[in-house]
């Protein structure tokens, strides 16, 4: 299931096509560099986005994880696994951002 990039990402692609092409190539290269499947890679990136408190990246990687076959329970689990690392308020925020995508789907 392909996902549509966020408007801000599309604006950056238009404004800086070479940069965004390089970012895209880096992402593809790192995913192909090892044995982790696409769904797991997006769940890892979702957890990193939650750790950084990046709402846009949580939205993006939630969409991408769902597109790669992740269930809502897997998405929530990827986030709550961080409870001891980033604390409950950050978990609550990340789940609310994931819900924006899950409940909107």
* Residues 20-67: tens digit of each pLDDT: 999 989 988 998 899 999 999 999 999 999 999 999 999 999 999 999
Domain count, the chain: 1
For the entire predicted model, the pTM comes to: 0.85
Write down the pLDDT at residue 102. 96
- The CATH number linked to 49 is 1.20.1290.10
> Residue 49: which domain range?
7-102
In a domain, 34, yes or no: yes
Q: Is the pLDDT of residue 4 over 80?
A: no
In a domain, 2, yes or no: no
pLDDT score of 74:
98
3-state secondary structure the chain: CCCCCCHHHHHHHHHCHHHHHHHHHHHHHHHHCCCCCHHHHHHHHHHHHHHCCCHHHHHHHHHHHHHCCCCHHHHHHHHHCCHHHHCHHHHHHHHHHHHHHHCCC
Residue 6 has pLDDT above 50, yes or no: yes
């Amino acid at each position: 299931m392909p996902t549509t990039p966020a408007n801000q990402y599309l604006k950056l692609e238009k404004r800086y096509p070479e940069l965004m092409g390089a970012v895209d190539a880096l992402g593809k290269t790192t995913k192909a560099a090892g044995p982790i499947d696409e769904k797991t890679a997006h769940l890892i990136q979702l957890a990193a986005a939650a750790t950084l408190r990046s709402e846009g990246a949580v939205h993006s990687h939630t969409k991408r994880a769902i597109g790669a076959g992740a269930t809502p329970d897997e998405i929530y689990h990827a986030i709550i696994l961080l409870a001891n690392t980033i604390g409950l308020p950050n978990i609550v925020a990340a789940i609310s951002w994931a819900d924006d995508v899950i409940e909107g789907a």
